[in-house]
Structure 1
Amino acid sequence: MKNIITLLTAILVFNVAFSQVNQNEHYLDDVYKECCSKKLGDFGALNCAIEVSEEWNKEVIKYYNGLMRALGKNAQNDLKQAQDQWVKYRNLEYKLSSSIHAIQGTMYSHIRAQRNMRIVRTRALELKSYYWIRTEEEEPSANLNNVQITSEESTSDSILPTPDSKFMYSLDKVRMINADYVIDKYLETYFFIVEPKKVTRRTDVNNPEYPAGPVDCGFRTVYNNNIIQEDDFGCDSYTQTTIIEFGNYSFKEVNRVIKILLPKLYDKDKAGYTGGQEGWHHLDGDDEFYDYSSCSLEILTRDNKIFVEYGCG
């Protein structure tokens, strides 16, 4: 009997503590209500739903990153797969909602935006409850969305996922020296897409190289914390570039992971420097990577942000 009472007491304590995290209330609900009270009408409520949805999405990213730091390799992989599937579900639900509410009038737009907000809200609270179960903390120890990068010497609480041996072995051996391919695979494996790839630029109407008319040449994809901007030759006739913004990480951390992904060093003892030789070169105090296509990669600090820039001439 004593053991049964002890067990029941433990279950009760767990349920009470868990309910504090698993509840359906969140401060963003009050933010939404207050916003709607100030911005009257369906148009005001529409804008409120859109604005608060962005805040809920930040909550999703915060708890996803917090969980990634708290979990082991196998559980990280499970979380990554689950989040990828949720993003696909979310995007399909957005599409369905848009089709169902494809009726003129701000009321229907408001209903659609409110529905979309609830989808992200539900996921944020799910991840928050998972985080509590794993850590017994209601908030990650550091806000992963607001880490300020001030210089190369800055430190950050955000740690980029370290590519493991399983990932490295999964790469196409012929393309392991291709920086664009390797980094793209890394992002696909260890992060989830917040905004799918979309067109950002088109070739000029009068561009003589495209007599049939403008074509898409610039593209943007947003992963959690990271933004990829790709510009093909059509945007600039002489270059093809990929710029990745690593939003919440220090220069030291980005540099560490990129050099794990691309470990090849240029051996200066064998020949003099030429731009087409593969591997890392140390030039004027900075490192630059050249792959087999004579394309180059640099890790840069600009406007207090960290960028990896990859270009082919």
Structure 2
Amino acid sequence: MIKQYLFLFLMLFCCSVMFAQAGPGSNPIDDALRECRADKENQNPEGSIQCEYAARIAWEKEVEKHYKKLLEILTADEKKGLRISQKDWLNYRDNEMLFASTFYKNMKSDSWLVIQAVRLTSIQRTRALELQEYYDMKMLDQD
């Protein structure tokens, strides 16, 4: 019973943190994640983790898309900086994923694996939005 309450609390906490900014201008990936998690079949640890995984893969594609778009419009010096930054970020992401995997799997409740999935999605989401913002700013500055 305690595990069920812990899971419910963690789910509510994660949803409130992840979607605090959701609204009319929300991202389609966030919307799809919200819909996936709202499905009754996914309101358990396994379903929640699957929803997060799908969102993380979608955000990963966004990272790749915006990285490539940025490389098309940056100066040579900016490209060099972005490549270094992206390489360092990928290293951070991979190391964080390894650490999180060990950390959360050593927790006593399987519900923590949902938090791990949310954390990993958040890492990808943050980078995708950062790269998109860089691209948008560069495009605005060209006008």
Instruction: Give me the TM-score of the superposition, normalised by structure 1.
Output: 0.35
Q: Distance in 2 between matches of 1:64 and 1:32?
A: 23
Letter of the 1:42 partner, please give it: P
**Greater RCO between the two (CA within 8 Å, min separation 6)?**
2
Give deviations 1:250-309, integer Å, cap 9, x for gaps: xxxxxxxxxxxxxxxxxxxxxxxxxxxxxxxxxxxxxxxxxxxxxxxxxxxxxxxxxxxx
1:49 has 2:52 as partner: yes
Bigger radius of gyration, 1 or 2? 1
Partner of 1:29: 30
Q: Which residue of 2 aligns with 1:264?
A: none
Specify the code of the residue in structure 1 equivalent to 2:137: I
CA positional deviation for 1:136? 2.8
2:125 is matched with 121
Query: Are 2:76 and 1:70 equivalent residues in the alignment?
Result: no
Counterparts of 1:125-136 in structure 2, within 5 Å, are 125-136=129-140
Partners of 1:32 and 1:104 in 2: how far apart?
A: 26
Deviation at 1:105, TM superposition (A): 5.0
Task: Return the offset for 1:25.
Answer: 3.7
Instruction: Check conservation: 1:46, 1:110, Cα contact below 8 A.
Output: yes
Q: Matched residues in 2 for 1:63 and 1:104: separation?
A: 38
RMSD: 1.8
Counterpart AA for 1:73 = A
Which secondary structure state, in structure 1, belongs to the residue aligned with residue 111 of structure 2? helix
- How far 1:90 sits from its partner (Å)? 0.6
Q: Which position in structure 2 is the counterpart of 1:88?
A: 91
Instruction: For 1:105 and 1:90, locate their aligned partners in 2 and report how far apart those are by CA, in whole Å.
Output: 24
Q: Secondary structure at the residue paired with 1:136?
A: helix
Q: Structure 1: any 5+ residue segments left out of the alignment?
A: 1-23, 138-313
Q: Give, in whole Å, the separation in 2 of the partners of 1:79 and 1:128.
A: 13
What is the 5 A alignment of 1:147-226?
A: none
- Between the aligned residues of both structures, percent identity stands at 30
- 1:272-283 alignment to 2 at 5 Å? none
State whether residues 43 and 106 of structure 1, in contact with CA within 8 Å, keep that contact through their aligned partners in structure 2.
no
